[in-house]
Amino acid sequence: MALLSLGFLLLAIMLGFIRKMNTGLLCIAFALLLGRMAGISDAEIIKGFNASLFLMLLGVTYLFSLAQINGSLDLLAQKVISLAGKRVYLIPIIIYVFSIVLAALGPGSVPTMAIMMVFSMSLAAEMKISPVLLSTLTVLGSCAGGLSPLAATGIIGANLCAEFGLTGIENDFLMN
């Protein structure tokens, strides 16, 4: 059954790339199919789906896609880069801080990495800066900002810690 579920996951990913289908919806359908094959009821499988997490991630992704489409993120990025002026050595620091702030405001680590990576790579090519350096700083800044209690990943982490009896852990990240 484990190999079959892995096969379904790989099939969902391949269909997502090849046929441009929503991989998440395919995975839900395959989970229901696999559950029926294993004798698990649909209600039992759907019970494991975290609807509040889904809605939060959907809302944050929608908000930042709108910000990308209407040019707000590009404008903000231009303003941030103009802070550096001719001091190119400040660009990696600005990218790192910008990634932290953006991730901490709500989307969390993964959406921020996706948004900032495109910007960082084009900036690296344009300004003749190492793309490895800027991509590394983008990932590290996104991960650091993702610990914020406002970010989706920070909320998930705090909720998981609360389930294990570790409460108030998010305050440690705010104070340091």
Per residue in 78-93, pLDDT (tens digit) is 777 787 778 888 889 9
77 and 128: one domain? Answer: yes
| pLDDT tops 60 at residue 174 | no
Per residue in 155-172, pLDDT (tens digit) is 888 888 888 887 776 665
| pLDDT tops 60 at residue 15 | yes
- In sequence order, the 6+-apart residues with CB closer than 8 A to the CB of 83 are 90, 94
62 and 112: one domain? Answer: yes
Q: pLDDT-derived band of residue 136, with 50, 70 and 90 as boundaries?
A: very high
- pLDDT for res 137: 94
- pLDDT for res 44: 87
Residue 5 to residues 50, 70, 127, 140: CA-CA distances in angstroms? 20, 40, 45, 32
Domain presence at residue 94? yes
- In 3D space, the residue among 57, 38, 39, 86 whose CA is nearest the CA of residue 154 turns out to be 57
Domain presence at residue 73? yes
Domain presence at residue 170? no
DSSP string, 22-77: -HHHHHHHHHHHHHHHHT--HHHHHHTS-HHHHHHHHHHHHHHHHHHHTTHHHHHH
Cα 37 from Cα 32, distance rounded (Å): 9
Q: pLDDT-derived band of residue 67, with 50, 70 and 90 as boundaries?
A: confident
CB 98 within 8 A of CB 59: no
Q: How many domains does the chain have?
A: 2
Considering only residues 174 and 31, tell me which one the structure prediction assigns the higher pLDDT.
31
45 and 56: one domain? Answer: no
- pLDDT for res 175: 52
Per residue in 107-121, pLDDT (tens digit) is 788 888 887 887 788
Q: Which domain holds residue 44?
A: 2-49
| pLDDT tops 80 at residue 25 | yes
Report CA torsion sign: 94, 95, 97, 98: positive
Considering only residues 173 and 111, tell me which one the structure prediction assigns the higher pLDDT.
111
Determine which helix (DSSP H) or strand (DSSP E) holds 144, and give its type and residue range: helix 131-145
| Buried/exposed code over 30-48 (b: 16+ C-beta within 10 A; e: otherwise) | bbeebbeeeeeeeeebeee
Q: pLDDT-derived band of residue 27, with 50, 70 and 90 as boundaries?
A: confident
Q: What is the mean pLDDT of residues 22-49?
A: 86
CB 170 within 8 A of CB 160: no
Domain presence at residue 144? yes
